[in-house]
Amino acid sequence: MTLLVSQPVHASVSSSFDTDSENWQIVSFADFSQNNYSIIGQYQPSYRAGGGNPGNYLAASDPDSGDFTFSAPAAFLGAQTGATGLSYDLTYRDGDVNWQTTDVMLVGNGQRLLWKRDPNIVPNSGWTHISLSLAPSSEWRLGTTDGAFASQSDFHNVLSDLSGLYIHGEYTNGIIETAGLDNVVLQTVPLPGAFWLFGVGFAGFWSFTRKA
């Protein structure tokens, strides 16, 4: 009977920042546009009460000369082969949008997947909702911004042991600007094993009632 109410093995992971920063960090890379992915700084984000979409949210001001990103915590990482999509809300203040490069980076098993939306993301002082599929398309590249288009095998390799999920927060070149993040969701589907367990439970229960 317990198996009859088993939950899916994997469920979507989300951060709404209702009470705190949920262990997100700010990671700055040397230069996405030049395919220089050396980490030059790691920082704590600012937690903002009110002003989110809705509620509270996470914020970061440009901390150095690199490309700063919002770096996902452990809850979003590890074995994520069931992940099908990513969505988040972004706000951008104090800077004109004139810097367009990689929007999302996934790292795992020695590979790097880069997503750049076409048309460009143009965030503003309001909230912009961004949604992307974790599947091959002309917006996904392997390794570098001009690398090969990512294949299904590449996604499986990276997502099977995801060690980094980075959301770009910098859209202006040369000044200190502030980006805000809210409502991050990594959408996943349950593994087939979850349904197999359900079936075994149902079959056992049916056999028991017939014998009774």
CATH number at residue 163: 2.60.120.260
pLDDT tens column, 95-143: 789 999 999 999 999 999 999 999 999 999 999 999 999 999 999 999 9
Q: How many domains are there within the chain? A: 1
Spatial separation of the C-alpha atoms in residues 128 and 103, rounded to whole Å: 13
Domain boundaries, position 98: 12-190
Amino acid residing at 55: G
Q: Does residue 206 lie in a domain region?
A: no
What is the identity of the amino acid at 114? L
Q: How far apart are CA 113 and CA 107, in angstroms?
A: 6
Residue 72 belongs to a domain: yes
The model's pTM is 0.86
Asked whether residue 116 is domain-assigned, the answer is yes
Question: Which residues are paired to 112 by β-bridges?
Answer: 107
User: Which of 142, 95, 80 shows the shortest CA–CA distance to 116?
Assistant: 142
Q: Which pLDDT tens digit goes with each residue over 72-106?
A: 999 999 999 999 999 999 999 877 899 999 999 99
Task: State the amino acid at position 210 in one-letter form.
Answer: R
Domain annotation covers residue 210:
no
